[in-house]
Chain A
Amino acid sequence: MSNANKKKAAASGDHDYELVVIGSGPGGYTAAFRAADLGLRVALIERFPTLGGVCLNVGCIPSKALLHTGKVIEEAAAMEQHGVSFGEPFIDLDKLRGFKDQVVGKLTGGLAGMAKKRKIEVIQGVAEFKGPNLLSVAGSDSNKKISFAKAVIAVGSQSLELANMPWGDPRLMDSTDALELEEIPDRLLVIGGGIIGLEMACIFEALGSKVTVVELTPQLMPGVDPDLVKPLQRRIGKRYAAVHLDTRVTRVDVDDHALVAHFEGKHSGKENFDRVLVAVGRTPNGAKINAKSAGVNVTSRGYIPTDKQMRTNVPHIVAIGDVVGQPMLAHKATHEGKVAAEVCAGGKSAFDARVIPSVAYTDPEVAWVGVTESEAKKNKLDYGVGKFPWAASGRALGIDRSEGFTKLLFDKSTRRIIGAGITGVNAGDLIAECALAIEMGCEAEDIGLTIHPHPTLSESIAMAAEVFEGTITDLYVPKKKG
C-alpha cells in the first residue's frame, strides 16, 4: 500500500478499504466502479482470474455469441425457400470457440482496464468473512486479511445439480460446461425447459445436434404466459427430436457408448444420449462466505435478505444480485449494484424499479415485462389487452418470421400500461420500450400516438396499443358490442 493510500485509509477509520466488493459479476463490478467514481477506496475480490462473473465468462455473453452463430446458420438454411442455397455448413468448432472466447476476452479485459483506471484494487482469491469488518482472501499462493468499512456481497449463484446423475462424467454438463463447446453431440438431452435450457438447446440444434428437451411442468418456461410460449413451442416441436412436458428424469446411468436417461411421467422409459445438459435452475452462493461471522443473516436456501437500499441486517454490509433473490438476472444486479454503491457512499438511493424485463434468447425470442396476463387474471385486475399479430406486420413478413406477436396489458381505468409480452425475432430488444413505458406510466394513447418508424418490428408495439384503443387500421377488428 502506498503512503498516500495509507493516509487515506487512516482517515476512513483505519480500515484497509472504505469498500470491499466480493464478486465481480455485473452487479459486483458495477458497484465497485460506481463506488470508486463516488470517491471511495475500493477493493474488488474475484475468485477467478478474469472479472465479469458468470454473465461475461460463462453465461449471457458467450451464449449470445453462439446463439448468433446458430441464428445465421438457420437463416442461411431458410434462404433455400427464397431461392438462395448455401449448402450444408461446415463447422470448425475450434474457430467458433475461439470467436466466443475472444468476445469474452474483449469484455473481461475491458473490465480489468476500467478497474485499473479507477484505481480499484483487484484481488484474486476466495473471500470469507472473519468479523463484521474483516475478510480473509485465500489466493492461489497467499492468504491475506483485509479490513473494510463497508462491504458489498455480490457472490452470485451456481447451477443446481440434480441427484442420481453421474457428475464427474464430462458428458454430463451444466450450462458452463456446455458453453465450453467441447464437441457437438449427436444426441443431446436438455433437462429443464426454462430459459437457460431452451437457449442451450437452440444453440446445439443449430449446430447439428438432435435435441430432446424434458420439462417437469406442463409448460415450457413455466410462469410465462402460455400464448407467448406457443410460437416457440410450435417451432421447436417440429425441429427437435422431442419435447417432453410433465416428465421427470429420475436418473442418468453411464453406459460405454452413451448416457442412459430414465424418464417418468407423461413420457416414460429410457433413452440413450451422447450428452446430457442439466439446466434446472440456479442456487445462490450466500452460504459460502461465512457470513455469520459478520452477523449477516443467510436463509437456509442460501439467499441473503436485504431492504430496498440493499442493506442486509448488518447495515454496513449490503448484498446484491442473484444472492439476494429472484429474478437472477444481470440487469437486475447492475441496478442493485449502483444502489448499493450509492448507499455505501452515504446516498439515499433505493432499488425502486417497478419492473424488471425478462428475455429468453431462443428462436423466436420470448420477452416479457411487468404484469403477465396470468398474474393479471389471478389477481383479478381490471385489465385490457392489446394484441398485435406479426402476421399483419410487413416487416415480419419480409423477414419470413411472422409467427410472433406483441401483447400489451393496460389498467382499464387509467389506461396505463402495466405489462407486456413479445414473442418473435428481436423480442428482447423490443421489450425495452415497454419497460420504459411502464416506468413512465404511459397510457395506451401515449404509445399509439408516438410515431414509430415504418417498416419495423417496433411498430407492433404502437399497433398493439392501438388495438387496445380501438384505433387500429392495420387490422380489421369488429366493433365491440355495447
Chain B
Amino acid sequence: MSNRIEIKVPDIGDFSDVPVIEILVSAGDLVKVEDSLITLESDKATMEVPSPAEGVIRELKVKLDDTVSEGDIVAVLEVSDAAEDGAGSAEEPAAAEPPASKAPPADEPGQAPSEPRAAQEPPAQPETGVAALDPSKVPYASPAIRRFARELGVDLTRVAGSASKGRIVREDVSAFVKSVMSGTADSTVASPGGLRFDFPELLEVDYSRYGEVEKQPLSRIRKLSAGHLHRNWIGIPHVTQHDEADIMDMEAFRKANEDDALAQGFKLTPLVFLIKATVAALKKFPRFNASLDRDGETLVLKKYFNIGVAVDTPDGLVVPVIRNCERKGIMELASELAEISGRARDKKLKPKDIQGGCISISSLGGIGGTGFTPIINAPEVAILGVSRSHMVPVWDGESFHPRLMLPLSLSYDHRVIDGAEAARFTRYLASRLEDLRRLTL
C-alpha cells in the first residue's frame, strides 16, 4: 500500500479549539513540502498549517469553521515517493478494521451542503469521542437533564449546578430559565454580585432615512476586540491616573543615538524608553505585574516582565508582546519593537506573539491629544496610555523654563490597586523618564 500520513495541527501555543478560517487545498491536490494547507485563527493571530512532505492530499479532515486543537488531524497525505496505484488500492478493503473499533468516518471535502442550512452542526458521531467525556469540558448532567435542557433551549454550559459538586439537576435548569425570563440573568454579561444590567433596548434606526449610508462589515480583528473590550470595560472597575514626565533630557539622549539605530536598520522611538521605565516601575510595584485569579480571591504575581505594545493596523488594534524586557537593552528593544510591529501590520503575528503580557502600553503620542482613558487589557491589571509631548513653561521656584512634557494616563484595576499606589507608580515611572540614569539604579 502507498505511504499515507496524517497531517496534524502543530504546537499552536496554549490555544485549543481554534477556528479554521481558510482551506487552501482540496482532496486530490498536489502539494510540496511547507505548502500551506489551512489557516487557523486564534484571537488575533493567524497561522498556517504547512505540509510536512510532498504528495497528494487524499482526504481533508477539517471544514471551514471547524475548531481544532494541537494534534488534531488536518488531512491525509499520500507521500509521493511511495505512491503506487492499482494493486495497492484494490486490496484496500483488507485493511478495514472490524466495525466497532473503526474511527468515525471523516466528512469528505468538497461536499459542502448544496443547500444552506440554518444551523451547521458537526456530524453526530464524533460527539461520542474522548472530548465528549472530558469532565472539565462537558456539563455535569445526566441524559434526562440534557434532554430537558435541549427542549427548553438552555445551554447547559451556562447553568450552575446546585447539587453535590456542581451537578446540574432539573431544578437548576428551571431556575435558569426563570431567571432569564425575569431578566435577573443577563444573557451576555455575567453579573457577579447580582447586579442587573437593565439597559433600555437600543432602537432600530433606519439611518438611510436621514441621508446616504454605506454598510461595512467589521473586520475579524475588530469583532474579536469588541468582545474583549466590552467585557473589560464592564467587568473591571477602571480608574485612570494622569501625570506628566519631563522628557527633555530623554529626548536629547534619544536624538543623540537616533542615527546609530537607523544605521542598524530601525528607529529609536520614545516608546522604547517607556518600556524600560515601565519595567523599572513594575519591579518597584509588583502588584502592577499581576493578574486576578478567576475566583477573584487570589492575586497571581508575575516574576517576568513582558510588555504589550498596542499597534494600530488597518484591520484594527493588536497588542503584540515583547518578552523579558528586563533583560534587554534599549537598542535590542528598539530592534525587536520595529520587527514585531512590522509583523503585526503584515498580519503575520503568531499566537505566542500576543500571549503572556504583564502590562500594555498604548501610545498615541505620534498623533496628538493631551490625555485619554485606555481600557485595561485583561487579565492584566493596568495599561499605560501615552499622549503627545508638548513644550510648557515649568516654574522651578524662581523662574519659568521651557520643558518638554509627556502626558501619561495609567488606567488600573481598582480591585487590585489603590489610588495612592497608582499615583506612586506613575510618578516613579515618570521620574525614571526624567532622569534615565535612575533606570540603572
Chain A residues within 8 Å of B, Cβ to Cβ: 160-164, 191-197, 216-217, 221-224, 248-250, 279-283, 295, 297, 299-301, 303, 305-311, 313-315, 324-329, 336, 347-356, 358, 360, 370-371, 375-376, 379, 381, 411, 413-414, 416, 418-419, 438-441
Contacts and interface: CB of A to CB of B under 8 A. Distances in A.
B114 interface: yes
A297 B98 contact: no
A336 B124 contact: yes
13 contacts: A162-B94, A222-B101, A223-B100, A223-B101, A223-B103, A250-B91, A280-B96, A297-B114, A307-B121, A313-B115, A325-B123, A358-B100, A441-B140
A352 B146 contact: yes
Given A349-B147, A441-B140, A303 B128 contact: no
Given A280-B93, A281-B93, A324 B99 contact: no
Contacts of A348: 150-151, 153
B94 A248 contact: yes
A299 B141 contact: no
B98 A196 contact: yes
Given A375-B130, A419-B133, A326 B105 contact: yes
B298 interface: no
Contact of B128 (A310, A355, A381): A355
B368 to A, nearest CB: 52
Interface in B72-100: 90-91, 93-100
B300 interface: no
From A301, A376, A440, residue with most partner B Cβ within 10 Å: A440
B98 A326 contact: no
A324 B93 contact: no
A171 to B, nearest CB: 19
B105 A301 contact: yes
Contacts of A224: 101
A352 B113 contact: no
B99 A305 contact: no
From B90, B104, B133, B141, residue with most partner A Cβ within 10 Å: B133
Contact of B94 (A280, A295, A297, A309): A280
Contact of A324 (B94, B100, B124, B143): B124
Contacts of A161: 93
B127 interface: yes
B78 to A, nearest CB: 15
Given A324-B125, A370-B133, A379-B130, A329 B119 contact: no
Given A299-B107, A305-B123, A308-B121, A160 B114 contact: no
A305 B107 CA distance: 7
B142 A328 contact: no
A327 B123 contact: no
B128 A349 contact: no
Contacts of B314: none
A196 to B, nearest CB: 6
Nearest to A220: B98
A176 to B, nearest CB: 15
B99 A295 contact: no
Contacts of A350: 150
B124 A160 contact: no
Nearest to B27: A300
Contact of B104 (A197, A310, A325, A351): A325
A248 B440 CA distance: 74
Given A160-B93, A281-B102, A329-B99, A441 B107 contact: no
A191 B91 CA distance: 13
B132 interface: yes
B102 A223 contact: yes
A383 to B, nearest CB: 10
B36 to A, nearest CB: 25
Given A351-B124, A379-B130, A281 B99 contact: yes
Contacts of B327: none
